[in-house]
């Protein structure tokens, strides 16, 4: 089973700031890594697929990078609406798994 570890667990940030969230896999998963945003009391929404491919309709301030075991989600120019919890997810092999989440609070 592949374990995904995100850092940080939470972060308090100001608008327009650049935010970086990392996700480390316990083994090589290639680029089978996806990022989701979950706002309070909502379902998760896909942001980035296959490590770096932006999903349709996602603002350009969201970007992803990485391969193998180390991945990064970057938000350039944080906006108030980005207050949410962010999860990474691996689809390299079953059972699928998620990171523990990174909660972003806007100051």
Partner 1 sequence: QEQLVQSGAEVKKPGASVKLSCKASGYTFTSYYLHWVRQAPGQGLEWMGVINPSGGSTTYAQKFQGRVTMTRDTSTSTVYMELTSLRSDDTAVYYCARELQGGGTWLDPWGQGTLVIVSS
Which residues, listed in sequence order, are joined to residue 85 by a DSSP beta bridge?
38, 103
**CA-wise closest residue to 37 among 92, 82, 97:** 82
Nearer to partner 1, 13 or 55 (CB): 55
Cα separation, 26 vs 85, in Å, equals: 22
**34 near partner 1, judged by CB under 8 A:** yes
Q: Is 98 in the site for partner 1 (CB under 8 A)?
A: yes
Question: Taking CB under 8 A as the rule, does residue 89 contact partner 1?
Answer: yes
Quickly tell me which residue has 């290639």 as its tokens.
Answer: 30
Residues making contact with partner 1 (CB under 8 A):
32, 34, 36, 43-46, 49-50, 55, 87, 89, 91-92, 94-101
């Amino acid at each position: 089973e592949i374990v995904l570890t995100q850092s940080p667990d939470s972060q308090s940030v100001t608008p327009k700031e650049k935010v970086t969230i990392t996700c480390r896999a316990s083994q090589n998963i290639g680029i089978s890594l996806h990022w989701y945003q979950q706002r309070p009391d909502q379902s998760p929404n896909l942001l980035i697929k296959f490590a770096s491919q932006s999903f349709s309709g996602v603002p350009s301030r969201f970007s992803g990078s990485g391969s193998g075991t180390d991945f990064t989600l970057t938000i350039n120019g944080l906006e108030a609406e980005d207050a949410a919890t962010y999860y990474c997810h691996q689809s390299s092999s079953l059972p699928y798994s998620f990171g523990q989440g990174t909660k972003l609070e806007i100051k």
